[in-house]
Amino acid sequence: MLIKKETTYKGRQLKWVGAAVLVALYTSNSWAFSIDDVAKQAKSLAKKNYQAPNSNLPSQLRELKYTDYQQIQFKHDKAYWSKLHTPFKLEFYHEGMYFDQAVKINEVTASTVHEIKYDPAYFDFGKVPHNADSLKNIGFAGFKVLYPLNSRKKEDEISSFLGASYFRVIGAGQTYGLSARGLAIDTAVPAGEEFPRFKEFWIERPTANAKQLTIYALLDSPRATGAYRFIIHPGKESTVDVQSRVYLRDNVTKLGIAPLTSMYLFGANQPSPVINYRNELHDSDGLSIHNGNGEWIWRPINNPRRLGVSTYQVENLKGFGLLQRNRDFSHYQDLDDRYDQRPSGWVEPIGDWGKGHIELVEIPTNDETNDNIVAFWSPEKLPEAGKEMKFDYRLHFTRDESALHDNHVAWVQNTMRSTGDVKQSNLVRQPDGSIAFLVDFVGKNLSKMPSDAKIAPEVSIGKNGEIVEQNVRYNPVIKGWRLTLRLRVKDPKQVTEMRAALTSNEKLLTETWSYQLPANE
């Protein structure tokens, strides 16, 4: 029996139906290929011992530095499907550096499936020394998808699948930032993280009027296998419909579903320790969670001095994501990397995922090239080895923060940290050993309230802190309200937990600001 579920997103009614119907809807231009074909392989692999992939990459390419590897570029005139009347094109990544394991890439047509073969003639090697004859038997490291996203006259790179199970997607006017992953295993576990990898892809040949691209992937790792189907919908907000089937080979300590990986170096809530013309430098500035009980939580991200792990228990999760809320270029001042254009990544579960928790991992870094932030959902209980787990979800890559929220719930626009002080009788401000946080709340509901509305803060703090001051005032610049919170930390070597929200007549107006002040050591 097929169970239909209807949801509404941004005013559009979406109908989600059983897996068999979904396959029929989205694979109409393929002869018989579906996620079930990939799932059969994944399930079969899970019953066998793991076989680590071999690499036949010549040492001269394996030992490349990043700047040298960047010289190896796919020739644009060789783009796959370039001779077809289709808006989508494919280009491929060459093996090199730590991308030293080939992935098999297949094309699914209306009548068959065939492998897209590697050819060194596809690539411009720049000044990188190489022997074309020694490269004939290697393969591709990954691929990118091109589509006329911002202009009909130009093909933009909209998606990239490269390395382990990482992939990135952008919408119009966006710049690559955070990454999504197929699966995370034992992230931030002392024994070390395991990185599953997509070992094979199947990509459906698009039609002339195609508005979406369908990609299948087979995942493999020492303790898990998986089958995935990605349907990429490019647009102002690009979305990816994901179907996943996961099978465990062996026990894992922690399984991360729909993981997102990002970078946070410094920002308004944690200024740079050295002078920098950029006041903020990050791909994402916070974790957002929409719990099944209706609660919204906002957790600003830190770059801690030691590994930090935060967990949030959820049931019937409605969504979570790593967001880039600050869109003001003046905060970044970076003309090259345009952090103000990085997309927010939002995971919208399809169906009830049950009980579990959202986990945020913050890894210390002093380099913006390191992805040091990870967020994922983890189930409360894991099945026995070989049993199928199904997780379907939609990924949103957007710069429209308001589209992710209920208009009745305001959200945190800014979290700013400062040295706490008091104003003396001579009007000079004097530091008093406290730490101040200024939190700006905005939203459609708040913008309609008069500036003299009676709005009160609800603040709680962990055992390691003491509240010195708390007040709320209207902020006419943003048509919202600003919470000022000053506290004293009892033990700087310990983390300090804080939570805050705004209410009016005991009615909750905002999401919950949940902050963890890192240990100062």
Helix H, strand E, coil C: the string for 234-280 is: CCCCEEEEEEEEEEECCCCCCEEEEEEEECEEEECCECCCCCCCCCC
pTM of the entire structure? Answer: 0.91
Report domain extents, the chain: 253-376, 411-517
Around Cβ 159, how many Cβ atoms within 10 Å?
A: 23
Under 8 Å between Cβ of 69 and 60:
no
Distance between CA atoms of residues 49 and 29, nearest Å:
35
Q: What's the pLDDT score for residue 59? A: 87
CATH superfamily of 411-517: Immunoglobulins (2.60.40.10)
Distance between CA atoms of residues 439 and 226, nearest Å:
42
Q: What angle do CA 57, 61, 63 make, to 5 degrees?
A: 110
Answer yes or no: is pLDDT of 14 > 80: no
Burial class of 477 by CB neighbour count within 10 A (0 to 12, 13 to 18, 19+): exposed
Percent of the chain beyond pLDDT 90?
A: 84
Distance between CA atoms of residues 165 and 207, nearest Å:
27
pLDDT tens column, 27-56:
444 457 999 999 999 999 999 999 999 888
C-alpha distances (whole Å) from 355 to each of 192, 291, 318 are 25, 11, 12
Distance between CA atoms of residues 402 and 66, nearest Å:
38
DSSP label at 59?
A: H
Averaged pLDDT, 109-126? 94
Distance between CA atoms of residues 395 and 378, nearest Å:
17
Which tokens is 72 given?
A: 């190896």
Which tokens is 151 given?
A: 């202009």
Please state the φ and ψ torsions of residue 450, each to the nearest 5 degrees.
Answer: -65, 155
Answer yes or no: is pLDDT of 429 > 50: yes
Which residues contact residue 456 at a Cβ distance below 8 angstroms, ignoring those fewer than 6 apart?
A: 472, 502, 503, 504
Answer yes or no: is pLDDT of 16 > 50: no
Indicate the range of 79-88, 311-320, 400-409 predicted with least confidence.
400-409
Which tokens is 497 given?
A: 């937990």
Please state the φ and ψ torsions of residue 69, each to the nearest 5 degrees.
Answer: -60, -35
pLDDT tens column, 160-199:
999 999 999 999 999 999 999 999 999 999 999 999 999 9
What's the alpha-carbon Rg for the chain, to the nearest Å?
A: 24
Which residues contact residue 268 at a Cβ distance below 8 angstroms, ignoring those fewer than 6 apart?
A: 279, 280, 326, 331, 414, 415, 416, 417
* Kind and range of the H or E run holding 3: none
Around Cβ 25, how many Cβ atoms within 10 Å?
A: 11
Around Cβ 16, how many Cβ atoms within 10 Å?
A: 16
Under 8 Å between Cβ of 263 and 283:
yes
For the chain, give the number of residues.
521
For the four alpha carbons of 120, 126, 130 and 131, in that order, the dihedral sign comes to positive
* Kind and range of the H or E run holding 508: strand 507-508
Helical packing angle, 19-26 and 35-46, nearest 10°: 120
Averaged pLDDT, 507-520? 95
Answer yes or no: is pLDDT of 60 > 70: yes
Which residues contact residue 411 at a Cβ distance below 8 angstroms, ignoring those fewer than 6 apart?
A: 296, 298, 325, 401, 405, 441, 442, 443, 510, 511
